[in-house]
């Protein structure tokens, strides 16, 4: 190794790039090999990663759960997967569906614990896209008021004998984005219309926020990240002048009746997995719980003659099992993470500023209630903070502190297996992106520089970034 190379090795190690120089006998050629970081393949930490790359890849529990937790996971799984039915029914543990809902089970939207997609044709139901509705006025807790008649979500199905709330249609506007090298990529932007409303007109000031069902992996690990770690990434007034701010959402916790940092959902509007799950039971399936004891029905609808499935319809005990299930699905391990193509893609990803929001690595707390997820070094590729992503991605629907331009950085772990598990490649909050490249090209606002950095790469380097993301 010549002196120059030795110095380079030294410097690279101490800038933490973990590069290894493979010395060539030819002193003129300074080709070097990138090597992975130690344990880089364990995206969900040693205890929260599974090594299955099949279509079941998102469905595994952590083998470090206690025996009791593993059994609860199994029961939670069955309540997640199986269909709820209208009351009264012989399966009383699973009745109470509706009267208004979007899907009969969690897994119809989170199919195989994976990612939903927009409908392929208008009227296709239960694919995992729903429309949130709200008004510009806030309530006492800083949340935005639900739409006066239809509440905070359009429910496009109802039980037999009742009229659904309404339907929506999507039309796409197509346009091209051009790279400096002349390559063109077609993008499509959805436009929503709510139609066939059965319970009166929508308030004129309603905002519509489309949301796609996320993949379910690693929720407990995200919940276990210490709040101080996440707040450390906040830079609300962009004090460091890098154009990227990032702010935490603060939302209402219905159990403790306090304001808490939001972590879940595309606008981080849920403080914890439990409230997210209970909210899904209420809004998406029409199942009441102790957290949300009232049926989610249009204002003025008389539901008194419709039998319910108990008060509440899901017991605290069963709810807790679905919460445990939802919290402990393992994150798939990285694939091909040691190849030069992907290591180079990772290096470019970091250099382009992508990693300023999609934070590669953090450590979970030492006190989280699921012991297996304590002290885990995880690689979620998110900061769970809100970022202004520009007007093109905006839904103009505020959600607590999130304004109409702001979205939570989604974790990128598992993203490369969505095609295997869910048989599609649709990304972003509304599934408008038809692949990773389109998702990147939709970045704007605080991510505008990262996007233009990406656009300025040559085709081979762009592909490296895309291949890296697909290895997550």
Q: Which is nearer to ligand HEC, 359 or 372 (CB)?
A: 359
Q: How far is the CB of 90 from ligand HEC (least distance, A)?
A: 21
Q: How far is the CB of 7 from ligand HEC (least distance, A)?
A: 31
Buried-exposed string 108-123: b where 16+ CB fall within 10 A, e elsewhere: bbbbbbbbbbbbeeee
- Chain residues that interact with ligand HEC, rule: CB under 6 A: 80, 102-103, 106, 108-110, 128, 130, 211-214, 216, 219, 244, 264-266, 269, 273, 276-277, 280-281, 284-285, 322, 326, 349, 352-354, 356-358, 387, 389, 393, 407, 409-410, 412, 415, 427-429, 436, 439-440, 443, 446-447, 450-451, 454, 465, 469
Q: Which is nearer to ligand HEC, 5 or 419 (CB)?
A: 419
Q: How far is the CB of 117 from ligand HEC (least distance, A)?
A: 11
Contacts of 437 (CB under 8 A, 6+ apart): 185, 462, 466
Q: How far is the CB of 1 from ligand HEC (least distance, A)?
A: 34
Q: Which is nearer to ligand HEC, 5 or 190 (CB)?
A: 190
Q: Which is nearer to ligand HEC, 85 or 322 (CB)?
A: 322
Q: How far is the CB of 449 from ligand HEC (least distance, A)?
A: 8
Q: Cβ(222)–Cβ(413) under 8 Å? A: no
Buried-exposed string 180-217: b where 16+ CB fall within 10 A, e elsewhere: eeeeeeebeeeebebeebebeebbeebbbbbbbbbbbb
Tokens coding 30: 């300074």
Q: How far is the CB of 102 from ligand HEC (least distance, A)?
A: 3
Pairwise CA distance, residues 280 & 173, whole Å: 30
Tokens coding 378: 């995880």
Q: Which is nearer to ligand HEC, 97 or 216 (CB)?
A: 216
Q: Cβ(135)–Cβ(147) under 8 Å? A: yes
Cis omega (within 30 of 0) on the bond before 301? no
Tokens coding 400: 């607590």
Q: Which is nearer to ligand HEC, 5 or 56 (CB)?
A: 56
Cα 386 to Cα 121, 188, 263, 277: the distances in Å are: 31, 24, 10, 21
Q: Cβ(144)–Cβ(399) under 8 Å? A: yes
Q: Which is nearer to ligand HEC, 333 or 428 (CB)?
A: 428
Q: How far is the CB of 252 from ligand HEC (least distance, A)?
A: 14
Pairwise CA distance, residues 170 & 123, whole Å: 10
Region for 233 from its dihedrals, namely left if φ exceeds 0, alpha if ψ lies in -120 to 50, beta otherwise:
alpha
Q: Which is nearer to ligand HEC, 222 or 372 (CB)?
A: 222
Q: How far is the CB of 377 from ligand HEC (least distance, A)?
A: 20
């Amino acid at each position: 190794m010549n002196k120059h190379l030795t110095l380079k090795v030294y410097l690279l190690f101490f800038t933490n790039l973990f590069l290894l120089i493979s010395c060539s006998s030819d002193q003129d050629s300074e080709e070097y090999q990138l090597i992975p970081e130690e344990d880089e393949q364990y995206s969900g930490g040693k205890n929260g990663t599974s090594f299955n790359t099949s279509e079941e890849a998102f469905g595994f529990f952590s083998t470090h759960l206690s025996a009791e937790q593993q059994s609860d996971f199994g029961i939670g799984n069955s309540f997640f997967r199986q269909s709820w039915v209208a009351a009264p029914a012989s399966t009383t543990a699973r009745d109470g569906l509706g009267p208004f809902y979007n899907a009969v089970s969690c897994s119809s939207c989170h199919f195989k614990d994976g990612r939903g997609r927009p409908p392929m044709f208008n009227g296709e139901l239960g694919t995992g896209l729903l429309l949130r509705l709200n008004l510009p006025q806030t309530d006492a807790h800083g949340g935005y008021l639900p739409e006066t008649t239809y509440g905070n979500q359009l429910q496009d199905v109802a039980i037999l004998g009742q009229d659904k709330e309404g339907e929506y249609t999507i039309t796409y506007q197509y346009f091209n984005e051009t790279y400096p090298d002349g390559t063109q990529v077609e993008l499509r932007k959805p436009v929503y219309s709510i139609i066939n409303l059965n319970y009166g007109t929508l308030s004129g000031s309603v905002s519509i926020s489309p949301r796609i069902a996320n993949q379910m992996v690693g929720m407990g690990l995200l919940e276990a990240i210490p709040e101080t770690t996440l707040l450390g990434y906040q830079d609300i007034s962009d004090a460091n002048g890098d154009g990227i701010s990032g702010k935490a959402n603060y939302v209402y916790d219905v159990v403790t009746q306090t304001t808490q940092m939001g972590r879940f959902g595309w606008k981080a509007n849920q403080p914890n997995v439990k409230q997210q799950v209970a909210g899904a039971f209420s809004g998406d399936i029409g199942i009441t719980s102790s957290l949300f004891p009232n049926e989610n029905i249009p204002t003025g609808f008389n539901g008194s003659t419709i039998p319910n499935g108990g008060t509440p319809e899901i017991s605290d005990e069963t709810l807790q099992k679905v919460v445990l299930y939802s919290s402990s699905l393992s994150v798939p391990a990285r694939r091909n993470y040691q190849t030069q193509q992907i290591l180079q893609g990772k290096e470019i990803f970091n250099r382009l500023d992508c990693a300023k929001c999609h934070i590669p690595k953090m450590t979970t707390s030492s006190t989280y209630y699921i012991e297996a997820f304590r002290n885990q070094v995880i690689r979620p590729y998110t900061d769970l903070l809100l970022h202004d992503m520009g007007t093109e991605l905006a839904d103009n629907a505020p959600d607590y502190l999130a304004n109409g331009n702001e979205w939570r950085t989604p974790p990128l772990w598992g993203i490369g297996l969505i095609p295997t598990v869910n048989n599609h490649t649709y990304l972003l909050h509304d599934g408008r992106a038809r692949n990773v490249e389109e998702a990147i090209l939709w970045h704007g606002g605080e991510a505008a520089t990262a996007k233009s950095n990406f656009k300025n790469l040559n085709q081979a380097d762009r592909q490296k970034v895309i291949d890296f993301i697909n290895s997550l």
